[in-house]
């Protein structure tokens, strides 16, 4: 995490395009997710234009699926806000983890880039930064790839959704989980990190079982983060 | 308080979702702009970054079906051996798909 020597926060068209291309393979799977959402939303009874607009403006798959469960002749506002906030609260943590590099940018760029922050481009850009590579192109360009493929997928699902009636039997529900796991396994591994992960996993599970719905990601992440702050890595470059 | 989903109500619901989601995308960055970046804060943030993923995956691994478990196991093993994400993801998905055929 030495961001002082090289401008890791650098961002230009070349980096954005490279980041876009780097996220295209995983974005192809996002199309399938999007199609699954488009299909589910049609079946819930949402209008086509409403569905496409939701994917375009919200761009948060898990939260969008959850809102379909609340959908009826009317939608209760407080549960809507709580559900969307709880599921997307991990974005708060993502923004915080990227702050050391985002802070080098002017506020307009900083917040502009965060418009398309999502799990996959966040994980890949953070990995790039921690290896000492420029990551902003991956974050923004990759985010644009995920966002546009998400919208296209949603649209395809509305019109051709019945073609993938059972994505689960093809293992497609596991794409994002496998991707994120590959990011974890590909990152730094040492005894300290392993123990932090065990604490994060146990806290997440306890929250999953005993605390309100959707709180487990935040609880687990904060527990891991706090342990990391208390038990600091001694071999570091300051 | 309820919002009708007929007509313009649906767009109002989307607006609420969009604003809440945007608040989460911007909020973490905004809050951090008030926190001095000490070494301890960096350690907190870097420990948290892996923990977010672990916390997301733990219930899937424990509560998911055997297909999901096998997918995660296969991805982790492939990643450890080959250190390349795409083959690891593909192997995991194939494992789940094959397992669920039976």
Is there a domain that residue B96 lies in? yes
Cα A168 vs. chain centroid, distance in angstroms? 20
Provide the residue range defining the domain that includes B79. 65-102
Mutation site for B-interface testing, chosen from A139, A181, A197, A216 by largest number of B Cβ within 10 Å: A181
Residue A236 has pLDDT above 80, yes or no: no
Q: Give yes or no for a contact between B46 and A228, defined as CB atoms under 8 angstroms apart.
A: yes
The answer for B 55-74 residues in CB contact with A (under 8 A) is 55-60, 62-63, 67-68, 71-72
**pLDDT at residue A154, as a whole number:** 96
**pLDDT at residue A6, as a whole number:** 57
Q: Which range among A124-128, A174-178, A201-205 shows the weakest confidence by mean pLDDT?
A: A174-178
Confidence of residue A184 (pLDDT cuts 50, 70, 90): confident
Express each pLDDT in B85-100 by its tens digit: 889 989 999 999 999 9
**pLDDT at residue A75, as a whole number:** 92
B47 with A64: Cβ contact below 8 A: no
Express each pLDDT in B17-31 by its tens digit: 999 999 999 999 999
- Candidates A115, A180, A197; nearest CB to B25: A115
How many angstroms separate the Cα of B61 from the Cα of each of A73, A202, B28?
Answer: 36, 12, 28
- Give me the interface pTM, i.e. the ipTM: 0.85
Q: Give yes or no for a contact between A87 and A186, defined as CB atoms under 8 angstroms apart.
A: no
Burial level of A101, CB count in 10 A (0-12/13-18/19+)?
buried
Structural domain tally of chain B? Answer: 1
Q: Find the mean pLDDT for residues A83-94.
A: 90
B21 with A223: Cβ contact below 8 A: no
Nearest in space to A126 (alpha carbons), one of A180, A61, A177: A180
B19 touches chain A (CB under 8 A): no
**pLDDT at residue A5, as a whole number:** 53
Q: Find the mean pLDDT for residues A47-73.
A: 93
């Amino acid at each position: 995490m030495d961001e002082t020597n090289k401008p890791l926060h650098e961002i230009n068209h070349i980096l954005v395009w490279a980041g876009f291309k780097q996220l295209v393979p995983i974005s192809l799977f996002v199309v399938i997710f999007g199609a699954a959402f488009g299909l589910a939303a049609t079946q819930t009874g949402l209008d086509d234009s409403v569905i496409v607009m939701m994917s375009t403006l919200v761009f948060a798959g898990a939260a969008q699926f959850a809102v379909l469960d609340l959908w009826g002749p009317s939608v209760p506002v407080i549960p809507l806000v709580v559900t969307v906030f709880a599921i997307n609260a991990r974005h708060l943590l993502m923004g915080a983890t990227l702050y050391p590099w985002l802070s080098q940018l002017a506020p307009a760029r900083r917040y502009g880039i965060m418009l398309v922050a999502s799990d996959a481009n966040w994980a890949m850009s953070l990995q790039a930064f921690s290896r000492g590579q420029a990551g902003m192109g991956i974050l923004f360009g990759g985010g644009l790839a995920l966002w546009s493929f998400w919208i296209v997928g949603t649209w395809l699902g509305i019109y051709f959704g019945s073609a993938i009636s059972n994505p689960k039997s093809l293992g497609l529900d596991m794409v994002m989980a496998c991707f994120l796991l590959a990011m974890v396994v590909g990152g730094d591994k040492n005894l300290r990190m392993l123990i932090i992960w065990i604490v994060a996993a146990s806290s997440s599970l306890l929250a999953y079982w005993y605390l309100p719905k959707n709180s487990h990601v935040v609880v687990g992440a904060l527990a891991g983060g706090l342990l990391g702050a208390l038990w600091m890595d001694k071999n570091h470059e300051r | 308080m309820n919002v009708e989903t007929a007509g313009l109500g649906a767009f109002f619901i989307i607006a609420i979702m969009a604003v809440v989601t945007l608040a989460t995308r911007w909020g973490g960055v905004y809050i951090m702009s008030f926190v001095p970046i000490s070494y301890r804060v960096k350690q907190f943030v870097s420990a948290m970054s892996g923990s977010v993923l672990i916390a997301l995956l733990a219930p899937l691994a424990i509560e998911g079906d055997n297909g999901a478990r096998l997918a995660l196991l296969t991805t982790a093993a492939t990643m450890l051996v080959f250190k390349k994400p795409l083959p690891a993801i593909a192997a995991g998905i194939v494992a789940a798909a094959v397992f669920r055929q039976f």
